[in-house]
Structures are given as C-alpha cells and as structure tokens.
Amino acid sequence: MEKEGFFARTYELVRQIPEGRVASYGQIARMLGEPRKARFVGFAMHDSPGMAAGVPCHRVVFKDGRLAPGFAFGGPDVQRQMLEAEGIEFLPDGRVDMERCCWEA
C-alpha cells in the first residue's frame, strides 16, 4: 500500500464523507487539488472496493445532485433509498438536496 495513485487518494477522501452528506465528483476532485479529474473520481468509484471497505460511493453524486444512471448499485432508485437511510433529503425532482447536504470538509 505504498504506491497510491489517484484512485486510492480518491477513496481516502470519499471515505471521509460523513453520514447524511453528499459530495459531487468535481467537488471531490477539487479537494484533491485537481478539479479537472472529476471523471476519474467516478472511475475510481466504479473500481471502488465497496462501502464495506469504507468507500460510500453512493454518497457521491453529480454536481446537479443527480445519480449515475445505469451505473449505480442496480439503479438510482436503490441508491436513493440508501441515501435516504443515511438521512439525506431529496428534492421533488428526484435529485439530492445538495443545497442542504453538500459535504463540507
């Protein structure tokens, strides 16, 4: 575990997301100091070891508060239930209420 790439770095940051909070890919990438790698953050999530390893990828959403269509745990609906269980509030549009739940380091 010495050689850590961008992925491992992303996992560590995502793993620091508290319960009831969400963060956008660009937001995470920005915290890493490289706001242009927003895509790789999502890539890292796809390759993520899972929330059991401390990577709550379900708390990572689009900047608009939208979920990843087709690549979530089986459907955005499932992810929505997980987020609701965490205490995240949703908007009538079916988007996460980032205005309230946006993660702040």
83: contact with DNA by CB under 7 A: no
38: contact with DNA by CB under 7 A: yes
Distances (CA, A) of 61 to 2, 3, 41, 87: 29, 27, 11, 15
72: contact with DNA by CB under 7 A: yes
Distance, in Å, from the CA atom of 39 to the CA atom of 19, rounded to the nearest integer, reads 23
Q: Which of 21, 25, 88, 103 binds DNA (CB under 7 A)?
A: 25
Residue 13 token pair: 């940051």
Q: Which of 16, 62, 86, 95 binds DNA (CB under 7 A)?
A: 62
Q: Please state the φ and ψ torsions of residue 27, each to the nearest 5 degrees.
A: -65, -45
Q: Is residue 101 annotated as part of the catalytic site, yes or no? A: no
Stretch that binds DNA, among 18-26, 83-91, 96-104 (CB under 7 A): 18-26
Q: Which of 57, 68, 88, 101 is catalytic?
A: 57
Distance, in Å, from the CA atom of 77 to the CA atom of 86, rounded to the nearest integer, reads 14
Q: Which of 16, 32, 73, 102 binds DNA (CB under 7 A)?
A: 73
Active site residues: 57
